[in-house]
Amino acid sequence: MSTKNPYKIIKAILFLLLLTTTSNFSFAHDGRPIYIELKEVTESRYVLRWKIPPIMQPGTEPEIHLKGEFCQIQPEITGPAGPNVKSYLCRNPHPNNFTRPYNPLTIKITYPIANPALSSLIHFEKSDGDTINLFNGPKVLEINLPSRLTIWDCVKQYIEAGFLHILEGYDHLLFVLCLVFIARNFRSTLIAISGFTLGHSLTLGLASLNLFTIRVDVVEVLIPLSIMLLAAEIVYAHNGQSKTSLTRRYPAIVASGFGLLHGFGFASALAELGLPHSSKITALFSFNIGVELGQILFVLVLIFLSSTVQWIFSNRKISILYQHFLTQSKYAIYPVGVVSGYWAIERTVGLIS
């Protein structure tokens, strides 16, 4: 068996990666940050809400505060709303002084023990309908809220959001992984990935602009089923079956069709972030670019690892063991099918309940 075929090497690498990370795949999107929402009800009143990822243990949850030179919490309003909701009154003592410099509001995150390396996402909705989204790393615990974001700031924010979403969305990455398995060469991989990109870009745009939508919980069930279908096709192909199936003959068509489905999944993530009122198209396009960059990085990492492994095992003395390992790489797809099946069952139960 020749070891010069990079796709066999990729499959061997994936065999190791899947065996060591399958337990993490049960949390398809649990790399979520702390979600903080600040709504400007009027020019002086603000409502602060936040959501903590379920991975945090009781007693370690952070406290979120809105800080400003003239901001005061309103306990009579905050109390009944719950522990993760606060209302603030931020009066301007000089309402007629238009030359007074803008004094930014600040979101402060305070941990009772230590920060467990969680990022934060701030969604600032202004009274005029505009929105500002700020993404911050774990070390940033005080965030100044700007009065407006420039176009370039908007582009950077949403590219980062799309990039992080695809890398934290293991279900989407597993689908791309299956496309690599099905593709027989680099050209087929490029065509299949391009078809997937075309499909999800179309529905991402339609859903984000509210031109065509599907229930998010239904989409979340269908996505792992699409992975299971590709996994079954790969197993059949290894057993000498399904060589004439549509998936094997026209992977780009199948990738495009399922890409339409995954696009609705991307749109649900973008809906949580929100689109700025004045730059919807720019933010949408930037988010999609971020998704593509993350997807390209994932494929390039696979190619790099395959080249590295090929170089390491180029020694003929160990080539026999390596070739035997390659023959066992076909079993790498079984963990994919098991994990996607688990997601499908879990999300179906959630959908029914």
Rounding to the nearest 10 degrees, give the CA dihedral for residues 59, 64, 67, 70: -90
Paired tokens of 274: 């929100």
pLDDT value at position 288?
Answer: 93
Is residue 172 over pLDDT 80? Answer: yes
Average pLDDT of span 238-242 = 63
pLDDT at 82: 59
pLDDT tens-digit map of 312-322: 766 655 555 55
Q: Is 102 exposed, middle or buried (0-12, 13-18, 19+ CB in 10 A)?
A: exposed
Residues 21-68 pLDDT 10s: 443 444 455 446 788 999 988 878 899 998 887 777 777 888 899 988
Flag whether pLDDT at 170 surpasses 80.
yes
User: Looking at the predicted structure, is the pLDDT value of residue 217 above 90?
Assistant: no
CA distance 324 to 339: 26
Cα angle 24-27-29, degrees, rounded to a multiple of 5: 120
pLDDT in tens, 284-306: 999 999 999 999 999 888 778 77
pLDDT of residue 200: 93
Task: Starting at the earlier edge strand, list the strands of the sheet with 63-67.
Answer: 63-67, 105-110, 142-145
Res 152 pLDDT > 50: yes
- pTM for the model stands at 0.69
What whole-number distance in Å separates Cα of residue 178 and Cα of residue 342? Answer: 17
